[in-house]
Amino acid sequence: MSYLKGFLVTFRQIFQKRVTTPYPEEKRAKPERLHGRHVLGRYEDGMEKCIGCELCAGVCPANCIYVRGADNPTDNPVSPGERYGFVYEINYLRCIHCDLCVEACPTGAITESKMFEFSFTNRNDAIYTREELLVDSESGKPKQLPWEDWREGEDLDTSGWLRATSPNGDASYEGQIAWSGDLGYGIRKAEIGQSDTKTPEEEQ
């Protein structure tokens, strides 16, 4: 009869409120500052933001980023600077999503999206190339690879790189626009809520 008691416990749970999320039909809401899959951005005119400086590779504690810069073609430049990221690879078998590469980038070229679900079928798929990381040259949207589960709205904060930290921790930067425009999104709104200190305009 002990097994009947077990069935009774199971039967009672049928009428209880569900505490799980019916994934993959529905996803849990993600934090605004979630560190997910990387994206290489473009300016509003379509030019790439990456200048091939290799700072992201140098600061990476997991040694998962490989970058090689090259001189910009004089007749058809890729980026506004003298150089651009000719080779850019990220190995997601090593990446720990610490966001240090995002903080080190001087142009805000590399950001992290809210997408973090990967379903690799082989190790080569885990190494993302420059072409896979770059946003689309027309829409500015991140490229969805076959093994990724992108949902609507998960690309909205791909360029909000300053959301990771308040600028210098100084309240005087509150409400100021601190990043350049992005292809497909334009100029993002200013960061709000860095501190409880009111700006001079608010005090008046």
CA-CA distance, 162 to 168, in Å (whole number)?
A: 10
Q: Is residue 192 a part of any domain in this protein?
A: no
Q: What predicted TM-score, i.e. pTM, was given to this entire model? A: 0.76
| pLDDT at site 35 | 84
| pLDDT at site 171 | 65
Q: Is residue 181 a part of any domain in this protein?
A: no
| pLDDT at site 11 | 81
Residue stretches of the chain with pLDDT short of 50: 163-166, 196-197, 199
Q: Which domain holds residue 119?
A: 31-164
| pLDDT at site 67 | 96
| pLDDT at site 175 | 67
Looking up residue 63, the CATH number of its domain turns out to be 3.30.70.3270
For residues 40 and 130, is the Cβ–Cβ distance under 8 A? yes
| pLDDT at site 124 | 92
Q: Is residue 39 a part of any domain in this protein?
A: yes
Q: What is the number of structural domains in the chain?
A: 1
- Residue 22's CB is within 10 A of a number of other CB atoms, namely 8
Q: Is residue 86 a part of any domain in this protein?
A: yes
| pLDDT at site 42 | 92
Q: Is residue 41 a part of any domain in this protein?
A: yes
Q: Is residue 131 a part of any domain in this protein?
A: yes
| pLDDT at site 160 | 56
Q: Is residue 196 a part of any domain in this protein?
A: no
Q: Is residue 142 a part of any domain in this protein?
A: yes
Distances (CA, A) of 132 to 16, 20, 39, 77, 166: 44, 33, 9, 20, 30
CA-CA distance, 48 to 57, in Å (whole number)?
A: 18
| pLDDT at site 164 | 44
- pLDDT tens digits, one per residue of 90-104: 999 999 998 899 889
